[in-house]
């Protein structure tokens, strides 16, 4: 388990990787991600972390704190398992030229962090919040008046750090403040369990909400997946 005392930084932007990701912040995210997703414990390598995920479209994951050209070229040219993923703490334009045939970058992602503090989490009229904790994972649901699930999210606690994961709002319930409610509820649950910092991997859409809530962009987090034509 990894404790992270300060995951915020100011030198990272969409295009500029700064110094890549702090290895302790990245380790905290990796530890929480494998707990949340039920993956095997991460294996630390000289270049980063290797995770056996074991799903058909996500067999294995390689997580790198920087876009070291020699390391990336070596991994991209030697990995031959369809469904293997790279997660590189660098912008896509630094990663793409180092990839070989069969690799693609499907989207933009970002590693983000924040210090946890008590936050008001009052649901809008007609909604309620329910949370359940099993082991190190707390699941939070926002329920509509008819009992249907309007938003979901979870935290995986690893030491003093909580990893926020699988956060989503049903399209029928968007733009009603449920994203903010979910983040506040997750943060309060994490703080109640002793966490002082939170880390997450954000989509481009989610990043805008998290920035508005005071989260800091720690580094770009470029995903790449290996799907050779013969496996398509």
Sequence ranges of the domains in the chain: 23-110+219-231, 114-218
Q: What residues contact residue 38 under an 8 Å CB cut-off, 6+ apart?
A: none
Cα–Cα nearest to 76, from 17, 222, 109, 84: 84
Nearest-angstrom CA–CA distance, 86 and 225: 6
Q: Which residues pair with 197 in a beta bridge?
A: 115, 161
Question: What are 222's two structure tokens?
Answer: 């470029």
Q: Is the pLDDT of residue 18 over 80?
A: no
pTM for the full predicted model: 0.89
Collapsed DSSP state (helix, strand, coil) of residue 47:
coil
Domain 114-218 = CATH 3.40.630.30: yes
Please name which of 178, 86, 82, 169 lies closest in space to residue 123, comparing C-alpha atoms. Answer: 178
What's the pLDDT tens digit per position in 80-109? 999 999 999 999 999 999 999 999 999 999
Q: Please say if the pLDDT value at position 7 is more than 80.
A: no
Distance linking the first and last C-alpha atoms of the chain: 37
Whether 131 shows a pLDDT value over 70: the answer reads: yes
pLDDT, position 135 = 87
Query: Does the pLDDT of residue 5 top 80, yes or no?
Result: no
**pLDDT greater than 70 at residue 183:** yes
Strand, helix or coil for residue 159? coil
| H or E, element range at 163 | strand 161-169
Contacts of 121 (CB under 8 A, 6+ apart): 129, 181, 184, 185, 188
| pLDDT tens, position by position, 30-42 | 999 999 999 999 9
Q: Which pLDDT value is given to residue 159?
A: 86
When the pLDDT of each residue in the chain is averaged and rounded to a whole number, the result is 92
């Amino acid at each position: 388990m990894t404790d992270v005392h300060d995951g915020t930084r100011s030198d990272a932007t969409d295009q500029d990787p700064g110094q890549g990701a702090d290895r302790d912040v990245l380790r905290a995210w990796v530890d929480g991600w494998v707990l949340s997703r039920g993956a095997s414990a991460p294996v630390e390598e000289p270049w980063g972390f290797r995770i056996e995920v074991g799903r058909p479209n996500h067999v294995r994951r390689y997580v790198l704190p920087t876009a070291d050209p020699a390391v990336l070229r070596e991994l991209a040219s030697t990995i031959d398992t369809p469904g293997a993923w790279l997660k590189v703490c660098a912008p896509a334009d630094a990663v793409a030229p180092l990839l070989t045939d069969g690799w693609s970058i499907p989207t933009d992602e970002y590693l983000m962090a924040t210090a946890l503090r008590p936050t008001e989490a009052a649901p809008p009229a007609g909604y309620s919040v329910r949370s359940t904790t099993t082991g190190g994972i707390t699941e939070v649901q926002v329920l509509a008046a008819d009992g249907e699930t309007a938003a979901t999210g979870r935290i995986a606690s690893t030491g003093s750090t909580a990893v926020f994961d699988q956060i989503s709002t049903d399209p029928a319930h968007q733009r009603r403040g449920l994203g903010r409610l979910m983040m506040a509820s997750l943060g309060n649950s994490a703080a109640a369990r002793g966490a002082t910092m939170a880390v997450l991997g954000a989509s481009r859409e989610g990043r805008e909400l998290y920035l508005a809530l005071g989260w800091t962009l720690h580094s770009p987090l470029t995903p790449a997946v290996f799907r050779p034509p013969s496996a398509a």
